[in-house]
Amino acid sequence: MKTGFWLEEFAAPYYVFKDAGAEVVLASPAGGQPPLDPKSELPDFQTEMTHRFNGDLEAHTALANTVRLDSVSEEGFDAVFYPGGHGPLWDLAESETSISLIESFERAGKILGFVCHAPGVLRHVSTAGGSPLIKGRRVTGFTNGEEAAVELTEVVPFLIEDEFQKLGGLYEKGGDWAPFVIEDGRLITGQNPASSEGVAKALVAQLK
């Protein structure tokens, strides 16, 4: 299965941040052009924000030239945001670089934003005390029902809903495919692609 990040979950937050006047630095595990989930380019999944991205040469250039994730530190940043797509379940969820980066943002009291499958990257992230970061915290992410609807329940390395409950997270969800965003202090999570703009707007509101 060819996967990667989901275009809409990158495009919508990108423009929410840019339109708010934020300085955005794009990073990926290997640097350069990160893999895009080819399904996210299908006509059914296009939105006003993806059309805007497709016509934006500056944004395309920025995405083709992401910095390597291991070159980023929390110093100099106010927040970190992870778009979803199934890709992060395989690489970022198991990446020591990503795990320690998120932990450094959390320790510094900075804002953490994740949408759809991206909350899955929190599965091995711990608090300073060593317990799972999401334990006892309100969180959301792609539901078991949504995963079943796209027929990938048996393909993904883990199901976010099950994993979060196992880790002691206070997992919540709205209707399948409907926008649903949870803010637990500086931890902001969104359930699905429809929630990407909401997560980004919540993050910007906290920055202000």
- Which CATH number goes with the domain that contains 51? 3.40.50.880
In a domain, 63, yes or no: yes
pLDDT digits (tens, 9 = 90+) for 137-194: 999 999 999 999 999 999 999 999 999 999 999 999 999 999 999 999 999 999 999 9
State the average pLDDT for the chain: 96
Residue 127 falls inside a structural domain: yes
Q: Let me know if residue 2 belongs to a domain.
A: no
Residue 12 has pLDDT above 90, yes or no: yes
The predicted pLDDT at position 41 comes to 93
Binning pLDDT at 50, 70 and 90, where does residue 2 land?
A: confident
Total count of domains within the chain: 1
pLDDT of residue 93: 96
Q: How many helices, marked H, and strands, marked E, lie in the chain?
A: 8, 8
In this structure, is residue 152 part of a structural domain? yes
Domain limits for position 36: 7-207
Is residue 113's pLDDT more than 90?
yes
Distances (CA, A) of 51 to 11, 18, 115, 141, 189: 9, 16, 20, 25, 24
CA neighbor of 178 nearest in space, from 113, 116, 99: 116
**Cα separation, 194 vs 181, whole angstroms:** 10
Average pLDDT of 65-85?
A: 96
- Dihedral sign, CA of 147, 152, 156, 158? positive
Per-residue pLDDT averaged across 22-45, rounded?
Answer: 95
Per the domain annotation, does 12 fall within a domain? yes
Residue 32 β-bridge partners:
66
Residue 14 has pLDDT above 80, yes or no: yes
Assess whether pLDDT exceeds 80 at residue 4: yes
Question: Could you tell me the two tokens for 166?
Answer: 């196992």
At residue 199, φ and ψ (nearest 5 deg) are -60, -45
Read off the DSSP letter of residue 35: P
Q: Is residue 75 in some structural domain?
A: yes
CB 8 within 8 A of CB 84: no
Q: Are strands 170-171 and 111-115 parallel, antiparallel or unpaired?
A: unpaired
Contact 184, 190 (CB under 8 A): no
The angle formed by the CA atoms of residues 126, 160 and 106, to the nearest 5 degrees, is 25
* Residue 64 domain-assigned (yes or no): yes
**Distance from CA of residue 170 to its chain's centroid?**
18
The pLDDT of residue 86 = 94
- 1 assigned to some structural domain: no
Give pLDDT, residue 1.
Answer: 65
Mean pLDDT of 72-97: 96
Residues above pLDDT 70, as percent of the chain: 100
In this model, does residue 35 exceed pLDDT 70?
Answer: yes
For residue 5, what is the DSSP state?
B
Q: Pairing mode, if any, of strands 181-184 and 79-82?
A: unpaired
Contact 52, 19 (CB under 8 A): no
